[in-house]
Structure 1
């Protein structure tokens, strides 16, 4: 392969976290060993192939972009149907004809699967070049595989750090509590969303929001007094807290509305947990409507409550 174009030394940017800095250094090392146009660290979630970190000479691929996993080259590599290193993809139909070529031409390919601590596929570390490259790329396998293993270890360490970070945040959020329900208040909710969004951007883990609204609270306050309405909210708070898993958060975000932040929750888990939450609440008080939504990597967690509200309104109109 030709010597890589020199890249300026990467200095730590103000505010960049240690994990992102380590990944950036790893990407630079990959480029130094195999100067392919694009190197990607990705996560797989269902059909979504989420770009977490990118070193792209063309500037067309950036973190947060979501591509189709089934249309990628990496899916064939991860399944063992195609090699980890392909200096010329023209002789490998699954790479040559992969739909991703329409967005990211793949004349040469390098890829390695990344697994979580349970052995499940987390994502991939891959590099692509628009044209074929020197077959000597095969000689770089050992060094490239070592860097892929390093990426896996970094992700595992960051995963453990996220758990500790959520525990620290739980303590920091204690002042932001609602005196009536005992859950977080709106300020605590906003802080929880902000902190989890940072973790989602680093690791790409799925996340979801469930909203629960007491639809007759205004009538209760009017007919039986505010004290009766507050007693109902005080009863619902512990019920919701009892439904949380480690890292989840619940807050009273409006007078008659609660929000639940569900971490590490994908589509199937969201449907199951949403049903559990709705059933538990309605068993206690039937006049409760709920809505749910998954975080979309391209929009971020701040937008997810709006999607959940739309779902809540749809549920209300169809009930």
Structure 2
């Protein structure tokens, strides 16, 4: 039994382009023709994808009308796949392609997609008639065309799988409504920042932002108006975020900002507050939208907390801002920490009702 060791090289997947080249090389050695080609039908055109040409001067990438081709008659069954004497075939004899090229012999087989639709052809042309015994090569031609079909289908499956993976990653990391980062993406980046802080201490800040009385917007103007407001705010806030920092929508009207650096969090939080201090026109109604902001700094000398703990600090500061009258910025400090310490610790990243924080602070 052969054993694959760690030093053995795993062969790369055979691409459709490479498979075409190998198939044409083999056919050219087994049955010399003036031209061997793999073509693709694109609407009303026939595109020569891969070519081995000894007689016609047709380059890869050449495009001819599909209706003028001999391949169209083969794929519809009007003519056979192997025609040793094209002039004797009642359909192919009058094909427009013969006006441009001296094609006296033809062989071809269809290449199909995973859905069974015609993709193109594996075909050969010759400027001279061939012996009728050329029919013996038809099984090989069919086999190689089938092989190309399977490789084409496998490549399509790989491409669709890759596209799905990209889309799944996009959905996991990008909020559909606002285009900001998602909670999952924010937590992942915060975990990474905290790992760096643990290994090579550097300051960072988490800012929690919660719109004041957002429920009233949804109740009075409808959820579409609320979504419009969230999109507007995201568009206003995003340009204020420095490269390397992360602004995320955690869900509903909850946002979070991860800022690398010593004082950037306060500066950005204050700027965000200034934007929301004004009046925003929404569906013909002027609204004054407020935001309560909680800031949690992590200094170089601080012990590295978990992501859940740092978010909890920022969240508690944000609720302290709401308790103080809303539309304010509160930084997590000993007073907020003491109030937070009197609350039951959640098992995960959870938010507490404002009344809980207020009661704990009394």
Output the TM-score relative to the length of structure 2.
0.42
**Which structure is higher in RCO with an 8 Å CA cutoff and minimum separation 6?**
1
Q: TM-score, normalised by structure 1?
A: 0.47
The structure having more radius of gyration, on CA atoms, is 2
